[in-house]
């Protein structure tokens, strides 16, 4: 039987409401299922926010997940309200904009990050990518797997980068690709077609490392623009 995300979510929502009837503040869906880009191997990135989260709540939540159909697909984030409200805003861009509400409203719990906070998030992610790409090129024993993971990360950087430039959030890779130009477009194209890396020779792989390191360096060193 084909997997049906809507049926799965309905079961999850019903069980969460049953177990946390007065304490459940928010349920949301993130990731590839939210963006309509899911494959057979995609995780279900569920977001659950309670008024307060203690260890007994985690045991209950674990039991709910373990008794779900296709439980191995379940992933995501669970938190108490206070912890989420204290979370670093530079880490909240995708969380805020990429979360589809299924129950409750995220806006009632947290505020969106400012443009300056999103710019800082772009800088931090560019730093992480630069370091990871350099480290992988020098030390890795699995270039293909590393490059696929690294280029997957570029989508989220490009999403945030485009937002700082246009104040427009683009949710899918395809839609974002249609709006990008130059090196940004080339990097996202590799992200979209990262499966092709598996058939590349060493010269092509080294070229992908070069482009990724150069691009992340340029993003990191770019001057702030309004």
What distance lies between CA 173 and its chain's CA centroid?
12
Q: Which CATH architecture has domain 5-108?
A: 2-Layer Sandwich (3.30)
Per-residue confidence band for 225, with pLDDT thresholds at 50, 70 and 90: very low
Per-residue confidence band for 120, with pLDDT thresholds at 50, 70 and 90: very high
What's the pLDDT tens digit per position in 170-221? 999 999 999 999 999 999 999 999 999 999 999 999 999 999 999 999 999 9
d(CA 126, CA 155): 12
What's the pLDDT tens digit per position in 20-50? 999 999 999 998 999 988 888 899 999 999 9
Using CA atoms, how far residue 27 sits from 3, 48, 123, in Å, is: 20, 5, 30
Q: Is 138 helix (H, G, I), strand (E, B) or coil?
A: helix
Per-residue confidence band for 224, with pLDDT thresholds at 50, 70 and 90: low
Q: Is 91 helix (H, G, I), strand (E, B) or coil?
A: helix
Kindly report the pTM of this predicted structure.
0.88
- Residues in Cβ contact with 25 at an 8 Å cutoff, skipping those fewer than 6 apart: 49, 50, 51, 81, 104, 108, 109
d(CA 184, CA 112): 25
d(CA 73, CA 12): 13
**Whether the predicted pLDDT of 226 surpasses 60:** no
Lowest mean pLDDT among 40-44, 136-140, 164-168, 191-195: 40-44
> For residue 177, which of 199, 200, 148, 154 has the smallest C-alpha distance?
154
Helix (H) or strand (E) holding 219: helix 202-221
What's the pLDDT tens digit per position in 79-96? 999 999 999 999 999 999
Of the two residues 222 and 83, the one the predictor is more confident about is 83
């Amino acid at each position: 039987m084909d997997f049906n995300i809507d049926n799965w979510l309905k079961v999850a929502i019903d069980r969460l409401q049953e177990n946390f009837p007065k304490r459940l503040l928010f349920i949301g869906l993130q990731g590839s299922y939210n963006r309509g880009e899911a494959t057979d191997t995609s995780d279900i990135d569920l977001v659950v926010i309670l008024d307060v989260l203690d260890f007994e709540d985690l045991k209950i939540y674990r039991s709910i997940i373990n008794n779900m159909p296709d439980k191995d697909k379940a992933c995501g984030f669970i938190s108490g309200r206070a912890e989420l409200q204290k979370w670093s805003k530079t880490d909240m861009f995708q969380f805020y904009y990429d979360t589809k509400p299924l129950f409750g409203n995220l806006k009632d719990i947290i505020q969106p990050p400012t443009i300056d906070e999103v710019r800082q998030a772009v800088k931090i992610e560019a730093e992480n990518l630069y370091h990871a790409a350099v480290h992988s090129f020098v030390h890795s024993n699995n270039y293909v797997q590393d490059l696929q993971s690294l280029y997957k990360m570029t989508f989220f950087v490009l999403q945030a980068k485009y937002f700082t430039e246009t104040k427009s959030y683009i949710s899918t890779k395809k839609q974002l690709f249609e709006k990008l130009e130059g090196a940004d477009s080339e990097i996202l194209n590799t992200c979209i077609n990262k499966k092709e890396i598996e058939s590349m020779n060493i010269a092509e792989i080294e070229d992908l490392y070069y482009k990724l390191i150069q691009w992340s360096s340029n993003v990191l060193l770019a001057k702030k623009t309004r």
